Each structure stands twice: as structure tokens, then as C-alpha cells.
Structure 1
Amino acid sequence: MSARQPTLRERQRSRTRQEIQTHAVRLFTARGYDAVTVNDVARAVGVSAMTVYRHFPTKEDLVLTDRPALLIAERVAASTATDPLVRRVGGALVEAAGALTDGDEASRRFLLDCLRLMVSTPALRARHLDSQYALQQTVVDALGGEAADPDAEFRARAAISACLAATHTALTRWAEDDGRSRLPDLITRALTATFGDGAL
């Protein structure tokens, strides 16, 4: 049975959302996050500020993207349940990074710009931490019944948190060197440094 195709309205909503976010990140990168208002973003896109807020409830949301979380969760859910959890989560992080940064230069630059904004802007650093907790929960949910009892969930959260911390170190390095290194390779190095050569 094939997956349901998005309706015309859903496709239009997705395009509008993407256009708003693209303009916002471009403006934040050019002028600085604090110097740009939601009204500035709305004017750049040619929509009302209310339209921006309908898609992005806060200014911080304009820099966050949920695509990495969805890719990671899909890959964790599809991984082999008998493999160690660190290998499953680490592998999902590396694969998602490749999907997001290999090939499409515009998507790679957009992700890099978002990451640099999150690293350099205090308000966004706090929001980024919130997004890490949400990502942890998304991965726990992707495990389904494997983390059903409290002890299993505790172990899963510990493993996921450690993988995310290693990945954050790789992401920070990637932002610092302006994306010259290949992100999946940096994440692999960070995970190996954390868990040893058998991590992946």
C-alpha cells in the first residue's frame, strides 16, 4: 500500500514555510540574528508577520529544522534491533548527516548557516538544547517497545544522549571550519573518540 500523497494545500503550506525559513536564515546570516525582526522576514518574503507566526510560532523557530530528527528516527526504526544501541543511533546520525549534506549544495549551506547561527547566538543556543531533548525523545519513540520498561528507557536515553553529545562536537567543528570537512566523517570520528573503534 503506497503512502498518502500530500494535498495541494499541504504542498503550498510546505513551500511557504520553506520560503519563509530560507529568507529568514539569509537575513540572520547577513545582518545578525538580533538585528532582524519577524517583520523584516515577512517583508522579504512578501507575506504578513501573522503568516510568519502561523508557520513559526517564535523567532527562534525560524532557525530550527525538523528534517534531521525525522531522518534520524527513520533510520533508527529501520536498524537491526539486535545491534548495540550506540551503533544503531550512531549509524543513523552518520547516515542522516550524509543525506543532509552530500550532494545538494544549497541544502548543505542552509544547514551550515542554521548551525552557525545556533552556535553564535545565545538565545538560539538555549533553543538548540531544547531541540536536543526533543530529538532524544524522537529517537526513544522510534525504538518503540524496545524502551518500554523504565530500565530499558533509562539505558536508551543514556546511549542516545552520549551519541548526541559526540555529534554536537562534530557539528561545532563543521561550523567552525565552514563546512570544509565532510560532516558524516566528523561525526564518525567523534563517535569513535567517545565509544572506541567498534562504535559503528
Structure 2
Amino acid sequence: MSSPHPEGLRARKKARTRRTIQEQALRLFAERGYDETTVEQIAEASEISPSTFFRYFPTKEDVVVQDDYDSLLMAVLASQPVDLAPIPALRATVHDAFTRIPPDEEAQILARTRLQLRHAPLRAKAVDNLISTIAMLAEGIAGRMGRDTTDPLSRTAAGAVVGAMLPAVFSWAESDGARRLAETVDEALSLLEKGLRP
């Protein structure tokens, strides 16, 4: 049997290191507090150097805000039927992608979201992340429709979906993840798809 492609092995190793850093960071934040935990402590717990930490995450805030779901979202969006309108296509994409998140990763998302709600610097960083997500989804929608990436319809659809998701995710975090994230978000996007009619 032939060995896996070396680039695949490198990518998996990088993903494991990235996940370890986030896991150790969240553990330390829970034990010591976000403000009291340093990058050096996270690096030590992850068995890496501080310089390696910064190769994966530019700042301590990024270890909370960043995730690895962009490529999944874009792949799922590309697989949606071409005749689906933008909002239904994005709703189906988000539901499919979020359903694939295993319970242990969903617990991490819950911890990261709760940190973002409690710390102003994290909220500011999260806004930057949301802007990037809207641009990414708008590009995917524009591509599906053969439109320019600056197309107002694509940007508005992406912004509306992300905007509808935010209060749903916040409510989910405030309820300690009482329901699955996919169900909570899909309920909000269902309302959006129906024109916000009950």
C-alpha cells in the first residue's frame, strides 16, 4: 500500500498542533481566567515554543476566535443544487456543516463563544472574523450565480444569514448548549428564509 501524500501528512500534523493549542488554551482559560493566562503558558502546556504559537495564531485573541470551518462551509455551499436561491442555499450549507461538528468540538465552540461574550477584546476580534466570513460566503454565492464578488445581492444574502445566526449562537451559548448548535441556528435561518414571518 502506498504511503499518504507528504503534503497531506504535513497538513494533518499542522491541524493536530492547531487543535492542541486551542484545547490547552481553553483549559487554561477555564482554570486561570482568560486575562490571567499568557501565551507563554499556553505554549508550554501545548509543548511548543511561543514563536510556534504565533505561527498558528497571531494573537491570544485569535486562539479563541479563529476556527477551521471556512473550507468546510465553502465545500458544502459548492455542493448545493444550483437552482437554490441564496438564502435557502446558505441555510442548507450551515445546517449541513454544523451537523457534522462532533460533540467534543461543539463543546469547544460553546466555550469559545462564552469567552467572546464576556471579554471586549474578543468581541472586537470576533467582529473582524464575521466581516471575513460574510465576504467569503458572498463570494461563494456570487460564484454560484455567475456574478461579480461585489454583487449587492450576494453580500446582502451573506450578511443577512450571518446576522440571523448571531443572536441564535448567543442564545445557544447563554443556555449552555441545551440544544445542538445546528438545530438552534437552523431555527433562526428558517425564520429568515420565511421572511421573518412566524
| 2:115 is aligned with 1:114 | no
Q: 1:141-160 alignment to 2 at 5 Å?
A: 141-143=139-141, 144=143, 146=145, 148-149=147-148, 153-160=151-158
Distance 1:134 1:61 in 2: 14
| 2:9 is aligned with 1:8 | yes
Q: Which runs of 5+ in 2 are unaligned?
A: none
Distance 1:150 1:56 in 2: 28
Distance 1:126 1:147 in 2: 33
Please report the TM-score for the alignment, with normalisation by the length of structure 2.
0.87
Please report the TM-score for the alignment, with normalisation by the length of structure 1.
0.86
Query: Deviation at 1:132?
Result: 1.0
* SS of match in other structure, 1:63: helix
Who is 1:196 aligned against? Answer: 194
CA contact (8 A) 1:140 1:147 kept: no
Q: CA 1:22–1:150 in 2, change beyond 3 Å: closer, same or farther?
A: closer
Distance 1:86 1:98 in 2: 18
Query: Deviation at 1:141?
Result: 2.7
Query: Deviation at 1:8?
Result: 3.4
Residues 65-103 of structure 1, C-alpha deviations (whole Å, 9 max, x = no match): 332222221111111222111000111112111111xxx
| 2:178 is aligned with 1:180 | yes
Residues 29-56 of structure 1, C-alpha deviations (whole Å, 9 max, x = no match): 3322111110110121222111111111
Distance 1:160 1:180 in 2: 27
* SS of match in other structure, 1:67: coil
Q: Which runs of 5+ in 1 are unaligned?
A: none
Distance 1:128 1:53 in 2: 18
CA contact (8 A) 1:147 1:156 kept: no
Who is 2:138 aligned against? Answer: 140
Question: What's the % identity of the aligned pairs?
Answer: 30
Distance 1:40 1:63 in 2: 15
Who is 1:68 aligned against? Answer: 69
Who is 1:52 aligned against? Answer: 53
* SS of match in other structure, 2:83: coil
Distance 1:70 1:8 in 2: 18
Distance 2:30 2:164 in 1: 26
Who is 1:98 aligned against? Answer: 99
Q: CA 1:14–1:155 in 2, change beyond 3 Å: closer, same or farther?
A: same
CA contact (8 A) 1:21 1:63 kept: yes
* SS of match in other structure, 2:126: helix
Who is 2:87 aligned against? Answer: 86
Matched AA of 1:54: R
